[in-house]
Amino acid sequence: MGSSSEIVAIVDEANQITGQASRAEMRAGKLIHRACYVLVFSSHGELFVQQRTLTKDIYPGFYDVAAGGVVLAGEGYEESAQRELAEELGITAELTFAFDHFHDGPDNRVWGRVFTCRHDGPMRLQVEEVAEGFFLALSEVLALSRRESFTPDGIKILEHLIEREPGVASNE
């Protein structure tokens, strides 16, 4: 799990690096930072959904549609995405760039780079970060998001991805 002493890249609203700070300082100051998001689809078009552990520093216990996390100082988005996939889900996969996204919430201000990939498992979930995970059809994910707490940036990214690429979950 991300340590509060990790050094992360700090950026401005135009996604230009302005400095670096510890993860704890970034969270406490609600500083704009970078993050990667990887939506993992099965060959059948289902999306891997994970539930965050209760020890996460933001959105503990929430469901999430993406593996990912903060981009460390000196690290690129794709490098971060591959690292997070390996750490959280125990997998490697070919990433496809989808889009960049700015989320400006009351407790999280982040420039995210969104990727997709295909992987059918098995997954080796990182117990410190992921309580459980499972594949669902997109319609089931959206229905679950109306009943359960999901990370707000993740749901916005999923909705934007579906709008931009309606066939993203197809198994072609």
37-76 confidence digits (pLDDT tens): 999 999 999 999 999 999 998 999 999 999 999 999 999 9
Please state the three-class secondary structure of 1-33 as a single string: CCCCCCEEEEECCCCCEEEEEEHHHHHHHCCCE
Mean pLDDT, residues 138-165 taken together: 94
**pLDDT reported for residue 4:** 72
Amino acid at 22: S
Mean pLDDT, residues 131-159 taken together: 95
**pLDDT reported for residue 172:** 46
Mean pLDDT, residues 72-88 taken together: 96
18-36 confidence digits (pLDDT tens): 999 999 999 999 999 999 9
The pTM is what?
Answer: 0.93
Q: Tell me the domains of the chain and their CATH numbers.
A: 7-164 (3.90.79.10)
User: What would the DSSP string read from start to end of 44-105?
Assistant: TSPEEEEEEPTT-SSSTT-EES-EEEEPBTT--HHHHHHHHIIIIIS-----EEEEEEEEE-
Distance CA 151, CA 83 (A): 20
Q: CA torsion, points 70, 74, 77, 81, in degrees to nearest 10?
A: -60
